[in-house]
Amino acid sequence: MAHRLPEFKGYTVDRRLREFRRMVFAEMPEFIPFQSEKGRELTAEMRKRPCRFCHHQKGRDEHKASGNEDCRCSCNH
């Protein structure tokens, strides 16, 4: 069964391959590894978003640090 990968700022986020990808018709594909400078910047911005499962308003890092025991979502916090 196929599933759709998440998107962020026009990039497809592939956690398995650890890269951001952008494919635009008639252009060369763009691949940004998570460990590159731009990849680290995008990852930091992405982690500041509210939790997509429980919609907690703090960024994911702050949510994890707050020790929210009631949250049962699967967004690694």
pTM recorded for the entire structure = 0.65
Tens digits of residue pLDDT in 29-43: 999 999 999 999 999
Distance, in Å, from the CA atom of 39 to the CA atom of 31, rounded to the nearest integer, reads: 9
Domain boundaries, the chain: 7-65
Q: What is the DSSP letter of 31?
A: E
Nearest 10 degrees: Cα torsion 24, 45, 60, 15:
40
Tens digits of residue pLDDT in 15-30: 999 999 999 999 999 9
Distance, in Å, from the CA atom of 32 to the CA atom of 76, rounded to the nearest integer, reads: 22
Residue 71 has pLDDT above 80, yes or no: no
